[in-house]
Amino acid sequence: MKERRRSKVVISDHHSRSNSMAADRSKGVVRDEFATYAYILLYIALSSGQIFFNKWVLSSKEINFPYPLGLTLLHMIFSSVLCFLLTKVLKIFKVEEGMTLEIYVTSVIPIGAMFAMTLWLGNTAYLYISVSFAQMLKAIMPVAVFVLGVAAGLEMMSCRMLLIMSIISFGVLVASYGELNINWIGVVYQMGGVVGEALRLIFMEILVKRKGIKLNPISLMYYVSPCSAVCLFLPWIFLEKSKMEGNGTWNFHFLVLTLNSLCTFALNLSVFLVISHTSALTIRVAGVVKDWVVVLVSALLFADTKLTLINLFGYAIAIAGVAAYNNHKLKKEASPRVTTETPGDNSESIALVSQANTER
């Protein structure tokens, strides 16, 4: 009898432990899903908010800081200092190894120069065109990346890709046709930023495919930010330094500009978190959602934004093309992969860092 009672107690304890483990697993899954959605929402909020924040800083009479080159330089200096503190002093993040002087000179410096050019020209465009129209023009990015990729031997021309590029181009043209207050100076600046970003992505793909270096966003910003700061500092001396001194802008709003720079860095950090907890598809979908949020919300926030049905129709066509492009790229990237790849692997992160650079 005693033996039977003991066996019943053991079985009961085993069942209770199993139920407890199952409950813990269920709670863990719910917690992970909640964290994932929180990171995605944080990315969308920071990415959209940073665009609005930059526009406000550059065009607001209260802040009086119409210096896109100076603002971008401040972002890069701030990012360089914070990356150094987080990786070398506090050691919260680890810098990926494998960087050599030869790779830095031939790959990181060109990436940093193109990154500086992209942010500088993109932020300058906000002085001439609305946030929503700038966002619509950015939809042409896959076309620029594909054309330059074909020229560099990284992409192959096909009927499918030609159709996708035609759809995106047609959508952007329709959206531009529907713009009421088009400013061609702003369009030239924005398209220059698009070309710079496309070149940056081409250099990054060369860094990964031909040199085998894989960097997460924090490591990439650690290497690229100082280089971008140097590339921005030289033109800033000749183009904006004298203007800032002449207008007495050295009495700038220190707190506002510091917060603006901190938000820029937080945006890059949010991309690091999203990449770590989700997939390439998730962050690309989040990027499309963010684009629409920026276009629609900017119409409510800024007086210079007046959306028309032609604007929205053209942008919808372009976004459909972008979605088809993303789907094509994801299938292409997934096809050669080994099935033993672990979730949250950052091997693809260097290709996704472009999603972080939405501050311009």
Q: Does residue 354 have a pLDDT over 50?
A: no
Distance CA 165, CA 157 (A): 11
- Domain locations in the chain? 34-332
311 exposed, middle or buried (CB, 10 Å; 0-12, 13-18, 19+)?
buried
Any idea of the CA torsion for 37, 274, 316, 119, to the nearest 10 degrees? 140
For the segment 251-273, the average pLDDT, to the nearest whole number, is: 83
Note the pLDDT of residue 166: 94
Work out the pLDDT band at 168, boundaries 50, 70, 90.
very high
Q: What is the rounded CA–CA span in Å between residue 26 and residue 30?
A: 6
Provide the percentage of residues in the chain whose pLDDT is more than 90. Answer: 32
Q: Which of 289, 218, 225 is nearest to 48 (CA)?
A: 289
Q: What does the pLDDT average to over 123-146?
A: 91
| Residue 337 clears pLDDT 50, i.e. is over it | no
CA–CA distance, 290 with 264 (Å, rounded to integer): 16
338-to-25, 333, 341, 342 alpha-carbon distances in Å: 28, 11, 6, 10
Tokens representing 156 are 């192959």
Collect all residues with Cβ–Cβ distance below 8 Å to 110 and sequence separation of at least 6: 199, 203
Say which amino acid occupies 302. Answer: F
Weakest-pLDDT range from 221-230, 252-261, 337-346:
337-346
**Residue 228 pLDDT class (50, 70, 90 cuts):** very high
More confident residue, 185 or 268: 185
